[in-house]
Chain A
């Protein structure tokens, strides 16, 4: 259940209250997010849409603990992250957040296997256990046969699938996707959205997606519109 009126129950996986974010640009103060409320339950697939500069990526950064709000609170799985120290927030991200970026952001000198393994190096898993997890994640995204390829040897769609494998390999609490299909052709974009849909349906993942693409947004269970820092409406997508 996704709500933007601040009346969600206490069991929400993600609970945002009165979220404000302001930037100072010279003498001008830019109010990016204004008193935003949001409740997302585990297993939801939420798409955020809105024009450029509406604050979509800023919201995603705040939810992922990459940035701090000017006011308000964010609670994820019972942890309020808005008052965590930088060190704690880093450790929290490693445990709870899987990021998927528009530009894939793979490390070009590492193979697909090594890129996916990156989040696991921070855990206490043995080498054999890490290998098992990485292979499983690459199987889920359908790239088990490309694990020793470098990013330059993969297509854009395959690179993004490696990025998704990296995001899910440590079994995070939720996935934050910033325009994951923005750099892909239609066919590859559909494949990526299919994959995200499967992660929600078959693996019970919670996905929060920022996109400009209405076709991609249609795959989400809920589409939220952000305009001038305010979540204006919540629309449930009919199951096809």
Chain B
């Protein structure tokens, strides 16, 4: 690449301008990286949702319970192979900011329903044998420096009182996107200690069906089974359930796209302006290149190459910073357990930066290409 010094030396001409433009790209791509992380965190449930699992909640609201008696009725519906249930506990560990999800689970069926959460068999058995036992995700263990055998107190909010648990098992996700920040304990313990209102009630059911292609039909059959009862149900695929959960936080996708759109449009203007000034500043030099025999297309490529180089360096720097930022883990203390910048977002960010560089640089590059040597040399 014998022309590379032409490309690089032009960027060193106005160091402050180059630094500011590279900085603009870096900030924009850093923001893009963070938005991608947040989007990924919200959509993490969608990525790992089981295609053959349906989630059944109370038709009125997710926070309204369902009777435990539905367990056997669900098993009798054609197409339903397995059933499990869980309750949201909502306890506080030491400080309200130490958020993590806690579920009271049915120890007989829950593990079989979610095989993606893996742990040693003896640890699971120890958990099942201990009525106050708990299973915790490996990220949670790292966060609070817990170990097997530790006794963990949780202050109940929905279920009053102080609840103490013994850590008997630590699970890990078999896929990168699996949530390993959960805390499980026995539903039977909850049943024993909760007040009269909650007796015989569960938060939601999850069922496994025989064929994902029958999901719509089975979901309809489930909801029809409990229609006109005091506890009507709303059944969705696990993916649709996760999506509706995300929607409760507002239209995150639109919000992120809006912010990203504004940032990149501004970046486009910055790049276009920078390259236009860069061309205007050295009209004579570009004319000299043409006079000594460089073609119009070469000059077009040179200016466009400078814009792409700026985009590449700045964009790469921003994405790198975003990646480094995510290596520190979730800064929200559990609200975004899946805090990770995927490779696809890195590639998308670089491609986006290059696209902005190309679009921002094209008009100045074309004007440089069309420059008439005689006219340019006349300018002082």
Contacts and interface: CB of A to CB of B under 8 A. Distances in A.
B51 to A, nearest CB: 59
Contacts of A50: none
B5 A105 contact: no
Interface size class of B (residues with CB under 8 A): 20 to 34
A160 interface: no
Interface string A162-196: 00001000000000000000000000000000000
Contact of B9 (A94, A109, A166): A109
Contacts of A94: 292-294
B164 interface: no
The binding surface of chain B is classed by DSSP as helix
A61 B3 CA distance: 27
Interface in B8-43: 9-10, 12-13
Contacts of A214: none
Contacts of B3: 121
B292 A118 contact: yes
Contacts of A119: 292-293
A198 B3 CA distance: 32
Interface string A59-82: 001001011000000000000000
Interface string A148-169: 0000000000000000001000
Interface string A106-124: 0111100010001101100
A93 B293 contact: yes
B291 A93 contact: yes
A118 B284 contact: no
A110 B285 CA distance: 11
A105 B2 contact: no
Contacts of A108: 13
Nearest to A169: B292
Contact of B5 (A86, A101, A110, A166): A110
A118 B9 contact: no
- Which of A64, A118, A127 gathers most chain B CB within 10 Å? A118
A13 B296 CA distance: 28
A110 B291 contact: no
B290 interface: yes
A105 B377 CA distance: 9
Nearest to A102: B377
Nearest to A89: B293
A61 B377 CA distance: 10
Interface string B274-295: 0000000000110011111111
B255 interface: no
B148 interface: no
A118 B289 contact: yes
Nearest to B287: A105
B375 to A, nearest CB: 10
B291 A66 contact: yes
A48 interface: no
Given A90-B290, A118-B289, 4 more contacts: A66-B374, A94-B293, A107-B9, A110-B5
